[in-house]
Every structure is written in structure tokens, then in C-alpha cells.
Amino acid sequence: MTEPRGVIRRPDGESLRILLNEAASEGSLGAVEMTMDPGSSGPPLHVHPTHAEAFYVLSGELSFQLGDEVITGGPGTWACAPKGVAHTLANLGSAEGRVLCLFAPAGFERRFERMVATEPDEATADLSTAERSTQVIGPPLTNR
């Protein structure tokens, strides 16, 4: 089956789709849709000093760490990490999960654009300021 343009199915089965990038929103907003396999952890606990990152669960049940708080929820669950707030996400459940990720202002979605690019170009070759300034401060979220 051929994936629509802008969608990548990674070897682990998870998929990723860029919905809105910096150029299309005049720098205001980036949007990415991700599918997470059951039992998969997301990125390590990290902080974005340049932008907020928000998550909206579309399907499945996902867990989010915002600061010291961990919340888990299904479709309709909304979580927002303002800039400077440590956060991560994971699918600790037994079913596939799908999440909409928003970045405001835009820029961090370029990380995902590089992942879906079959051939890097000038627009995605360099790290954005948002990517360069992101700080990893802890491990990924796992079942404790």
C-alpha cells in the first residue's frame, strides 16, 4: 500500500504525518499527527525554551508527563506543555494510539519533516532554533 505524500511509516510500524509547517503558517503553528504502537515510549523528558507543545489524543490511550504530573487519557484528552515545562509522552497501553501534536510558534515540526523526507533539501537540512535549544533532562516515560 502506498502512503499519501507527507506520511512515513517507520520500521517499527509507527506513522507520522506533517499537517502544517512553519512556511504554511507564517511561523505561527506547526502540526504533526503521530501513531504510536502499544507499549512504546516517546522521547526522553525534555524542555522547549522557544515554544509550547500541545497534544490532543485522537485514538487509543496515551500518557503524558507535564512537570511532575503524569496524566493518561483517551480520545479528547488535551495536554499542553508551555515553553519551559518539562514533558514527554508514551503509549503505555495495549492498543495503538494516535495523537495530534501542535507547536506554537512553529519550527520544531522541522524535526519531523526531516524524518519524512526521502531526500533532504535546504528547507529541512539545518536544525531550527527550536530544535537546537531543546534540552533533554530525563528518561522517557515508562510503566513504573
DSSP codes of every residue in 31-99: EEEEEE-TTEE-SPSEE-SS-EEEEEEEES-EEEEETTEEEEE-TT-EEEE-TT--EEEEE-SSS-EEE
| Number of compact structural domains in the chain | 1
CA–CA gap between residue 140 and residue 128 (Å, rounded): 23
pLDDT confidence of residue 60: 97
pLDDT confidence of residue 117: 65
Whether 27 is covered by a domain: the verdict is yes
Whether 65 is covered by a domain: the verdict is yes
Residues of the chain where predicted confidence (pLDDT) is lower than 50: 1-11
Tell me if 121 sits within 8 A of 57, measured CB to CB. Answer: no
**CATH at residue 20:** 2.60.120.10
Q: Supply the pTM of this predicted model.
A: 0.81
CA–CA gap between residue 4 and residue 50 (Å, rounded): 31
Whether 90 is covered by a domain: the verdict is yes
Whether 61 is covered by a domain: the verdict is yes
Whether 58 is covered by a domain: the verdict is yes
Whether 142 is covered by a domain: the verdict is no
pLDDT confidence of residue 121: 61
Q: φ and ψ at 118, to 5 degrees?
A: -80, -30
Whether 78 is covered by a domain: the verdict is yes
Question: Domain span at residue 123?
Answer: 7-136
Whether 144 is covered by a domain: the verdict is no
Q: φ and ψ at 110, to 5 degrees?
A: -60, -30
